[in-house]
Amino acid sequence: MRIPVRHITLVAFVIALGLPQLARAQEWNSAGLPDSAIRAPKTNAAPAPMRDIAGIWDAGGAGIGGPGYESPPWTDWAKQKASTFKPGNGPRAVYENDINDPLSTVCDPTGFPRQVLYETRPFQIVQTPNQVLILYMFERRWRVIWTDGRPLPKDPDPRWYGYSVGHWEDDNTFVVNTIGTDERSWLDNAGNPHSGDLKVEERYHRVNHDLMELTVTLDDPKAYTRPWTPRNRMPLTLAPVNFDMMEMICSPTEVMDFRKNISDRTNNK
Amino acid sequence: MKVLCAFLFVVAVSVPVIAHHGTASFDTSKVVTLKGTVTDWIWANPHCFLKFDAKDDTGAVRNWAVEVSNPTDMTKRGWSRLSFKVGDQVTVSLQAVKNGAPIGRLTKVLLADGSQLGGGAEVGTAPAPAAARP
């Protein structure tokens, strides 16, 4: 039996109409992009829009930074500061029941810059006329980056997430400078410390429509003998516009339950 | 070189399952496999954990608690808050803690219907070195 060409055309037309509907299917509670989307080459993507980094971005597993970082040598101040930090990872890792990471054991805020060095799960960037807002899936927290030309404050009160200003270095590179962070937050899971004098530079370079690279440089002469760059051009993939972020919150109730059932029973002494 | 680059890339983007702490507490050199009955399934941060009753070598029942990663990572691995219910028969492979307590990190679990879920903890994962920092 021969199928008339016009029928085939009609079927193709109906399918073509239906596919965008499928693509627009709305999903809830996404944990992140599939690994295939993170790994997919993005060299053929459309050009980056100018002065626009809005959207939901996902670094995949590379964003987690679980093991912590190999830092430059510590100063004496940093050695003293970190002597009370008992991390779960890195060269000074202790047994699980001895960890005293304020984030994972009592749900202190991640703080900044740990927010961009550890558990950098999907995040949404929103641009307003005078601010860039970053909404993080991890801890469901946000940062405000002022773009109204104001200078950074002089001798500010410490804040867990510091004080941030941003500017466009070129049409595809947004640079954020942050000071005034809180010394109580760790830098990473290896228990690297930072001081309140820390200056952080984040560079968000949008390579093309689908790819952005994040570089984070730390300058903290009170704690480290030289500036260093724990995140160097970490690739971020643009997520679909209908991506609904999962919650990922440190609940003290849940942490206490985990400690009671697991951590407190791993004693190796 | 291309193969090496591809390998390094895969390693770099793989989701580490135990993100909030290392493996120093666990004997990662061997995997123990136990058949048991689910008594609880906690879908929570910082780690989900499965509790189950299983008989030891002497026939005594011990209640095990084995951790996996957080709900976000486990969702990406195909797990959900509905993966287990109390009374389910399971065969759990795990790396136990070194102190002999019935605690571990789950490497995989076989469900009664024959399906399997991977925990992500890998055999031979080196514990973090205990060397003092310079």
Is B127 within a domain?
no
Give the distance, in angstroms, between the CA of residue A2 and the centroid of all CA atoms in the same chain: 57
Interface predicted TM-score (ipTM): 0.84
Write out chain A's pLDDT in tens, 269 residues: 555 656 655 555 545 555 544 455 678 999 999 999 999 999 999 999 999 999 999 999 999 998 999 999 999 999 999 999 999 999 999 988 899 999 999 999 999 999 999 999 999 999 999 999 999 999 999 999 999 999 999 999 999 999 999 999 999 999 999 999 999 999 999 999 999 999 999 999 999 999 999 999 999 999 999 999 999 999 999 999 999 999 999 999 999 999 999 999 987 65
Residue type, A152: L
For A1-14, the DSSP string reads -PPPHHHHHHHHHH
Interchain contact, A257 vs B44, CB within 8 Å: yes
Q: Is B80 on the interface with A (CB under 8 A)?
A: no
- The tokens of A247 are what? 């919650």
Q: Is A128 on the interface with B (CB under 8 A)?
A: no
Structural element, H or E, at residue B13: helix B2-13
- Listed as own residue / partner, the contacts of A144-147 with beta carbons closer than 8 Å and 24 or more positions apart are A145/A176
- Flag whether pLDDT at B128 surpasses 50: no
Which residues 6+ apart lie within 8 Å of A246 measured at CB? A29, A30, A31, A32, A137, B71, B72, B75
Is B5 within a domain?
no
Q: Which residue has the higher pLDDT, A31 or B12?
A: A31
Q: Rounded to two decimals, what is the model's pTM?
A: 0.85
How many folded domains does chain B comprise? Answer: 1
| Sole residue written with tokens 């990872």 | A89
Question: 3-state SS string over B24-82?
Answer: CCECCCCCEEEEEEEEEEECCCCCCEEEEEEECCCCCEEEEEEECCCHHHHHHCCCCCC
pLDDT of residue B20: 67
Q: Is A255 on the interface with B (CB under 8 A)?
A: yes
Which CATH number does the domain housing residue B32 bear?
2.40.50.140
Sequence-ordered alpha helix ranges (H) in chain A: 5-23, 35-39, 76-82, 102-106, 114-117, 252-261
Considering only residues 65 to 104 of chain A, which have any Cβ-Cβ distance to chain B shorter than 8 Å?
Answer: 66-67, 73-74, 82, 88-97, 99, 101, 104
Phi, psi (degrees; rounded to nearest 5) at A101: -55, 120
Q: Which residues of A touch B70 (CB under 8 A)?
A: 248
Q: What angle do CA B55, B56, B57 make, to 5 degrees?
A: 125
pLDDT of residue B21: 73
- The tokens of A257 are what? 């339950």
Q: Is B97 on the interface with A (CB under 8 A)?
A: yes
Beta-carbon count within 10 A of A252 CB: 10
Interchain contact, B128 vs A90, CB within 8 Å: yes
d(CA A189, CA B134): 18
Residue B109: give the domain boundaries: 15-118
Task: State the first-to-last Cα distance of chain B, in angstroms, to the nearest integer.
Answer: 34
Residue type, B69: S
Distance from CA of A254 to the nearest CA of B (A): 6
**Residue of A236, A266, A268, A269 to mutate when probing chain B, most B C-beta within 10 A:** A266
pLDDT digits (tens, 9 = 90+) for B29-52: 999 999 999 999 999 999 999 999
Q: Which residues of A touch B134 (CB under 8 A)?
A: 73
pLDDT digits (tens, 9 = 90+) for B69-102: 999 999 999 999 999 999 999 999 999 999 999 9
Q: Of A170, A175, A240, which Cα lies nearest the Cα of A201?
A: A175
Q: How confident is the model at residue B5 (pLDDT cuts 50, 70, 90)?
A: very low
Q: How many CB pairs under 8 A join A and B?
A: 129
Omega prior to B46 cis, within 30 of 0: yes
